[in-house]
Chains A and B, each alone.
Chain A
């Protein structure tokens, strides 16, 4: 028996199942109980949002130089305004700020160049960003060369210090983490046990103890003529600590790659390093973007712990400013500002990672 001689043409979906009204009916008002909850939720949102907006924007004071300019009705952003340079640069000498500005501008340009797909020469820009730029940034910020006055690292601070700690930590932790993850899966017993011990050690201790050891204990063991800068020690501590976490994220990804991928590459005559670099690692890194960015974001926020070894990162410098007797009582504004700055950076990383996931997707969802 033949059912249908003619093919049935494709028909549009019923009107009631598409569009914003249908969405609201399905998700917000799908029954009496859900409708009540929706209205209740909207009311709670109203109760929370209105005073917040009034405090932060409508009743807030924006312009001024001292606390006398604060009306006291809302937030007094005058405090943040007056201290802004310090929040960004810490105790960096005022007359040398142009050096920090150049580094910031260079950093922003490089990041934007690498992030915007249309711009060419990505590979060269990346090589420059990873090799020449750190040297230029160090020479500019630290000085002591080319008649630039020296600015010792204990005067660096604020957002600049936070970014230095975070970026160096990320750029260092990813490759070390990759090597550790590969080492942990190695067949060579010495390599494998070294990686296992390294990862389990660094994952097992709190970052605070790592920083303490780096700043207090290490100088006791090292000969006195071999003194390493405090910032450098913090950087090494953070990098090694995060690389252990990164290693486990990447190992999780490596385990998810089907064995057939490695076998197919091997059957084509590729060496271990070519199989890893060309076939396994690109797939692993792509798959683990959420996990890697998650580690990056937590690293970014963990940099605030350097406060306890006397480095003034963004949060540290805000806190220091709060104890200024001329500005007592503005801790809420200070913390909101610090939280907002951290949120901006972390949220940007999160959005960019989602964009990358979409861009690198090649239609092979298993």
Chain B
């Protein structure tokens, strides 16, 4: 790991002692995590371990009750303006795509740049077409999401996020809802994004993806970070018993 002292601005995401409860249920326990600019993190763990909740706290889709989260040097508070400022710099891709079904693919990509960043329609559309080109779906720009396959929809969702020029991209199980033959087309886009130096935090069970692009793999269980390591030692030489058990379960079949 990089041992040189890093400037605070080089830390994209900092989580210090973050705790969260759903009612009485303690979902996140003493989470400490720092993500540097350009770093790629893969988070894995059994279902219910709090990994989705963790990344959803970063753009305040979930609220944490204790501890501190700092995104791009801006501390996350209750202040709505502050939250919206952070969300503008954090892109998110969801398990179920969450494209806007009443808008075309192109409009899906343009709506935030036009209404949040106040870009002109022409500028937003030109840029959106570039990103749609990059995820290789530009020819579907005039279609509605309901007319696309799952893989195509997820690629549009990635393009929609990129149109906001985010500093960090959060991926919440981006391939879990896809048919097997569509997983690769989405992962290819994500790998390409990683090679371009995007800071990424990705909740996924795609261990092939983790091995290819991750700088660090984080294993969570019962709301805690259990183990954190570079992919090679993480997969070949897991330290904790729970990690070993988890890896044997998902790699075993």
Binding site for B on A (CB under 8 A): 258, 260-261, 263-271, 274, 278-279, 282-283, 286, 360, 362-365
Contacts and interface: CB of A to CB of B under 8 A. Distances in A.
Contacts of A268: 87-88, 111-112, 116, 160-161, 164
B92 to A, nearest CB: 4
Nearest to A272: B80
A264 B164 contact: no
Given A269-B87, A271-B84, A364-B144, A261 B116 contact: no
Contacts of B147: 363
B233 interface: no
A267 B92 contact: yes
Given A364-B144, A365-B146, A267 B61 contact: yes
A274 B161 CA distance: 17
B88 A269 contact: yes
Contacts of B111: 268, 278-279
B82 to A, nearest CB: 12
A269 B117 CA distance: 9
A271 B112 CA distance: 11
Given A278-B111, A283-B101, A267 B59 contact: yes
A182 to B, nearest CB: 17
Nearest to B88: A269
Given A269-B84, A270-B112, A260 B94 contact: yes
A364 B160 contact: no
B100 interface: yes
Nearest to B101: A364
A264 B94 contact: yes
A362 B92 contact: no
Contact of A270 (B98, B116, B145): B116
Given A267-B90, A269-B164, A274-B116, A283 B102 contact: yes
Nearest to A275: B115
5 contacts: A266-B59, A268-B164, A270-B112, A274-B116, A362-B101
Nearest to B115: A274
A263 B61 contact: yes
Q: Secondary structure at chain A's binding surface: helix, strand, loop or mixed?
A: helix
A364 B92 contact: no
A258 B98 CA distance: 9
Interface string B80-109: 100011011011101010111110000000
A282 B84 CA distance: 22
A284 to B, nearest CB: 10
A146 to B, nearest CB: 43
Contacts of B80: 271
B43 to A, nearest CB: 17
Given A260-B96, A265-B100, 15 more contacts: A260-B94, A263-B94, A263-B98, A264-B100, A266-B87, A267-B161, A268-B88, A268-B112, A268-B160, A271-B80, A282-B102, A283-B102, A286-B102, A360-B102, A365-B146
A269 B116 contact: yes
Interface string B215-251: 0000000000000000000000000000000000000
A362 B146 CA distance: 7
Contacts of A264: 92, 94, 98-100, 157
What are the 10 tightest A-B residue pairs by CB atom distance, in nearest-first order?
A364-B146, A269-B88, A264-B98, A364-B101, A268-B112, A363-B146, A260-B98, A362-B144, A267-B92, A269-B87
Most A C-beta atoms less than 10 A away, residue of B98, B99, B102: B102
Contacts of B146: 362-365
Nearest to B160: A268
A282 B103 CA distance: 10
Contacts of B100: 261, 264-265, 279, 283
A207 B204 CA distance: 57
Contacts of A279: 100, 111
Contacts of B61: 263, 266-267
Contacts of A266: 59, 61, 87
A301 B146 CA distance: 38
B124 to A, nearest CB: 12
A191 to B, nearest CB: 16
A263 to B, nearest CB: 5
B116 A267 contact: no
A356 to B, nearest CB: 13
Nearest to A257: B101
A199 B90 CA distance: 39
A309 to B, nearest CB: 42
Contacts of A261: 98, 100
Nearest to B56: A263
Contacts of A363: 144, 146-147
Interface string B126-148: 00000000000000000011110
Interface string B145-161: 11100000000010011
B171 to A, nearest CB: 12
